[in-house]
Structure 1
Amino acid sequence: MADRYLSFAGSAPGRFLTRRLGLPQPAELIRWSPEHPGFTGELLHLTAGKPDLDAQLAPVLARTGLRPGAGSPVAVVLDATGVRDVETLGEVHAALHPVVRSVAASGRIVLLGAPLDHTDHHQYAAQQALEGFVRSLGKEAGRGRTVNLVRIAGDARSAESTLRFLLSPRSAYVSGQVIEVGAGPFAVPDDWERPLAGRTALVTGAARGIGAAVAETLARDGARVVVLDVPAAEAEARAVAERLGGRALTLDITEADAGARIADALPAGLDVLVHNAGITRDRRLVNMPAERWGSVLDVNLGSVLRTTDALLERRAVNAGGRIVGTASIAGIAGNAGQTNYGASKAGIVGLVRGLAPRALAEYGVTVNAVAPGFIETRMTASIPLFIREAGRRMNSLRQGGTPGDVAETVGWLAQPGSGAVNGQIVRVCGQSLLGA
């Protein structure tokens, strides 16, 4: 649905009025497109403290396509892995204070942090301070700029897929996030433009909306896509699959044998499993019958648990595979009238955190989730006008996201190069003012 306020605020009269009245001033975000696959411009590489990262960071940054420079950068990367105390936190201010204003509109600021050291409470405090710094700067940056923190436990190469994502138009609606990159195994794709070439991806609830966008993005990145949806949506699912050169699979994901049927339909296994199917049955708890509660919990959480368990037990998710769930801001911050939905989406967070270490150790599979905020879909288009406008503006970017924003984040998590990213919940919300 068109955001008329965004269009108006970008016009000359709109800029004048919004400034005079103190109204939100959203900037048109630069998103990925075939004509604009990446940023062009300068990347400013700064340090604070004595960096812990090895010499591989500079080559990784060079491969993003951005050129080193010190003029008006489109991106700034501050290596703060060496920040260990209050004194070196001062170097963060000293490095960024002179340059923040010069970062281009829709530019990127990425801080690199170190794992929290439980044996050194000064280091722990200083590194934790970076989180508050990043989230605060994200709310100040304006003009479509994003600010994120990446904690790197391995060498710089393990974070290459993450840095490529955050320093590109693909991450337009991801800001204020803390992403941990472990020391786990990762594979460098032969082609960073088609990192999923030769891999099979299944997306549930993919006949429309966010699911269809995810399927399209994975296909663009080279995957053979299986579009799964309920039998009632078979025609739409087949249309999406035919458009993407994939195949459609129709079944009720809540059936007890859904996982087995998926495994039987894909004898060679799958490499990417995206749990996107979900429903809402909103009502305040005092007015919510058990059927509304149970149906949402079963579709959004129960089916995900059962299907994931079945596919892992049958080893239908190949080694080196990726499982990506769909949580929600409602599961992190809560939402009136959505106790059932909030519970189901918080359950996805718990699934990811509980399963991720074991799935990697036993099956060689990573488990992560995206948590969308206000995304422009048919569902949000039906929200009453004033509530919809509030939802759009209550984030640092002052606008709603698109299904493509969620899809790009899933695409990053699905890459072979993202093997060191495990157990993460990444909010795609423009840094919503709700929740952490």
Structure 2
Amino acid sequence: MSDRYIDFANSSLGHRLVAAIGLPSPVRLERWQAGRLRPVEGALLIGGGPLAAKILPFGNKLTDAIYSYGPEPLAAPAWIPGHGPKLKAVVFDASDLQHTDQLKQLREFFQPLLKNLDHSAHLVILGRAPEGLSDPFAASAQRALEGFSRSLAKELRSGGVLQLLYVGDGAEDQLEGALRFFLSPKSAYICGQVVRLEACATPVEDWTRPLAGRKALVTGAARGIGASIAETLARDGAEVILLDVPQAKADLEALAARLSARTVVLDICAEDAASQLIEHLPEGLDILVHNAGITRDKTLANMTPEYWDAVLAVNLNAPQVLTKALLDSGTLHDNARIVLLASISGIAGNRGQTNYAASKAGLIGLAQAWAPLLKERGISINAVAPGFIETQMTAHIPFALREAGRRMSSLGQGGLPQDVAEAVAWLGQPGSGAVSGQALRVCGQSLLGA
């Protein structure tokens, strides 16, 4: 639904009034549009340690305007604060910071940039995972990047976002795929996140259609976020199979006609759901997206057994049972990608949602537990945890709660189903096997549970 406050805050009168009173002033975020050719449309600034130089060979695929900044010279024109172009994207390699006194490089690099960022700028810091370092001082310095990045992300204005990528040994060649996502409008509603990249042997062959030749199943696909996920996977080249309950058959078939997709009408909680699903997938799957979910909200004092059981059955038990059956039967191919739709409620909790939050936290736990077990087959499994997303469901939330949900994030607004879909599509890419067992929040850096 329309966010009238953003409309007002971005009008001529509203902008002046909001600034005078000191109210939040969210801007309209730039999102990916059909026909866009490059991830970054504007100036990209690169600086810092040795990983920065590894970006230059594919930098011209990201944008045609690359600059360098900092004491380490790179084979790119130098950017001069106050005289260079506005910056649409920034990458700083902090992977070689090993002592506390070196952390000042963060301030020295970023401070001059902050007044020179373009609208909806995307910033990325590169580091090394602290748990993999033997030197306690180096591990401490790298862990410090998390506090710095999350805090700086909350200081950005005009729709700017910032992420921290910990790059594992051998994962340097996965930087292109990650930066194509995190420097582009596809990650418009992702902010303040920490993502770990590991080595991955499966490359993306065609960046214009990164999912070409891959078969994807989306549960709960008839409407809302599920429909947006299906549309985005199809846009990126996947052959999509849409699953939903019999009650949603009409909407499911309408979407399938639009996407030239197949449908599976199935209650995922049925006793024979796994065997039915396997029968519908004789050619197997490359991407499995568990999006189907329900809410039955009550405080625990008033929670009925029926409400508890229904939410846990649909949201957690069904993904567990179906995924295991698809794995055991070989229906999920080697190098497949599994994405579980969790929620920030499963991270921060939410009053009146003990059942829902338990189910969504369980999905995150499932991803963490299964990731090392599936690694040998090249299969990745991750959770996407949306925050306040503008859907039909949130449109029925009481006005005061809806406004609080929208404003209580670094970006000061709700996300769109497209934002969740873009994250799912990225995690579905072949090269995103570099990410597994992780929970990626799509919440605009929600101030709740941040």
TM-score, reference length from structure 1: 0.97
Q: Which residue of 2 aligns with 1:63?
A: 61
Distance in 1, Cα, partners of 2:5 & 2:255: 31
Match 1:161 to one of 152, 155, 177? 177
Output one character per residue of 1:88-107: Cα deviation in whole Å (capped at 9) or x when no partner.
11111111111122011101
Equivalent in the alignment of 1:33:
33
Q: Which residue of 1 aligns with 2:46?
A: 45
Aligned partner letter, 2:216: A
Aligned equivalent of 1:89: 103
* 1:106-131 per-position Cα deviation (integer Å, ceiling 9, x unaligned): 01110011121442111111111111
> How far apart are 1:54 and its partner, in Å?
8.0
Q: Which residue among 78, 83, 89 is the counterpart of 2:92?
A: 78
**Aligned partner of residue 56 in structure 1, secondary structure:** helix
Structure 2: distance between partners of 1:60 and 1:197: 21
Q: Which residue of 1 aligns with 2:128?
A: 114
- Does residue 1:301 correspond to 2:316, yes or no? yes
1:55 Cα offset (Å): 4.7
Offset at residue 385 of structure 1 (A): 0.5
Give me the whole-angstrom Cα distance separating, in 1, the residues matched to 2:28 and 2:279: 45
| Contact 2:99–2:141 under 8 Å retained in 1 | yes
Q: State how 1:267-416 maps to structure 2 within 5 Å.
A: 267-361=282-376, 363-416=377-430
Pairwise CA distance, 1:85:
1.3
Residue 186, structure 1, aligned to residue 184, structure 2: no
Is the CA contact 2:202–2:433 (under 8 Å) kept in the aligned structure 1?
yes
Query: Could you tell me which residue of structure 2 aligns to residue 136 of structure 1?
Result: 151
Of the three residues 227, 248, 269, the one matched with 2:263 is 248
Over the matched positions of the two proteins, sequence identity in percent amounts to 51
CA distance in 2, matches of 1:145, 1:66: 21
In structure 2, the partner of 1:17 is 17
Distance 1:93 1:27, change over 3 A: same
1:293 positional shift: 0.5
- Distance in 1 between residues matched to 2:140 and 2:47, nearest whole Å: 21
1:245-279, CA deviations, whole angstroms, 9 ceiling, x for partnerless residues?
Answer: 11111101112332222221111101100000000
Shift in Å, 1:185:
2.4
Q: TM-score, normalised by structure 2?
A: 0.94
CA RMSD of aligned residues (A): 1.3
Distance in 1 between residues matched to 2:113 and 2:52, nearest whole Å = 25
Matched letter for residue 126 of structure 2:
L
**CA distance in 2 between partners of 1:177 and 1:296 (Å):** 28
Residue 62 of structure 1 deviates from its aligned partner by 3.1
Count how many residue pairs are aligned between Structure 1 and Structure 2: 431
Partner Cα separation in structure 1 for residue 215 and residue 316 of structure 2: 23
Match of 2:246 among 224, 231, 237: 231
Q: Retained in 2: the 8 A contact 1:43–1:73?
A: yes
Q: Which moved more, 1:270-279 or 1:150-159?
A: 150-159
| 1:159 to partner: Cα distance | 2.5
| SS of 1:78 mapped into structure 2 | strand
Q: What SS class does the counterpart of residue 164 from structure 1 fall into?
A: helix
**What is the distance in 2 between the residues matched to 1:196 and 1:340?**
35
Match of 1:7? 7
Give CA-to-partner distance per residue, 1:316-354, whole Å, 9 cap, x none.
111111000001010000000000000000001100000
Q: CA deviation at 1:34?
A: 1.2
Distance in 1 (CA, whole Å) between partners of 2:227 and 2:137 is: 47
Which one of the candidate residues 177, 190, 193 is aligned to 2:193?
A: 177
SS of match in other structure, 2:119 = coil
SS at match of 2:296: coil
Q: Hey, what's the Cα distance between the residues in 2 that align with 1:107 and 1:331?
A: 29
**Partner of residue 442, structure 2:** 428
Question: Is the 2:52–2:91 contact (alpha carbons within 8 Å) kept by the matching residues of 1?
Answer: no
More moved, 279-288 vs 125-134: 125-134
Segments of 5+ residues of structure 1 without an aligned counterpart are none
Unaligned 5+ segments in structure 2 are 68-78
Q: Runs of 4+ in structure 1 displaced over 4 angstroms?
A: none
- Indicate the SS of the match to 2:94: strand
Task: Give yes or no for contact 2:171–2:434 (8 Å, CA) kept in 1.
Answer: no
